[in-house]
Amino acid sequence: MRALIQRSQAASVTIDGLVTASISHGLVVLLGVEHEDTVEDAEWLAAKIHQMRIFEDEEGKMNRSVKDAGGSVLVVSQFTLHASTKKGNRPSFIRAARPEVAIPLYEHFMQVLEREVPVQRGVFGADMKVALVNDGPVTIWMDSRAKE
């Protein structure tokens, strides 16, 4: 499972001209599921994300989690995070999980995260327009396979 995490001041998802999800202060998580991912990958990644200390404390140091900072999380499914650009100029998405594998893992990831922080979500497989005001900017890449 791969995630691109961005600290945000505001973010939203629009589908067919309607805002379907939005947050103010918090994190935007673009989440990609690979065909070899497991429930353990979803649990590890969700735990790391909600515990990650990337919000400033009173001294201006990144020392608070999204929960500590009173923020929320917007999660958007994004199979393109598993793009392979090794050959040619057109990315291959062969490593991205098919919906029958990806959706249950995406949902499990959301359930684990929702136990800790308020969560908004995009719509799996929809053509989404994601708006984001990146705060910092702070952007972090995580991969459950590499455990980093």
Domains of the chain in start order, with CATH, are 2-143 (3.50.80.10)
Taking alpha carbons only, the member of 132, 138, 143 closest to residue 24 is 132
For residue 145, what pLDDT band results from cuts at 50, 70 and 90? confident
Give the percent of the chain with pLDDT over 90: 82
Q: Give the global pTM.
A: 0.93
Is 100 strand, coil or helix? helix
Contact 123, 20 (CB under 8 A): yes
Cβ-count burial of 78 within 10 angstroms (0-12 exposed, 13-18 middle, 19+ buried)? Answer: buried
Q: Tell whether the model's pLDDT for residue 42 goes beyond 80.
A: yes
pLDDT of residue 68: 97
Taking only the tens place, the pLDDT of each residue in 55-72 is 999 999 999 999 999 999
The catalytic site residues sit at 78-80
Residue 121 tokens read as 């979500």
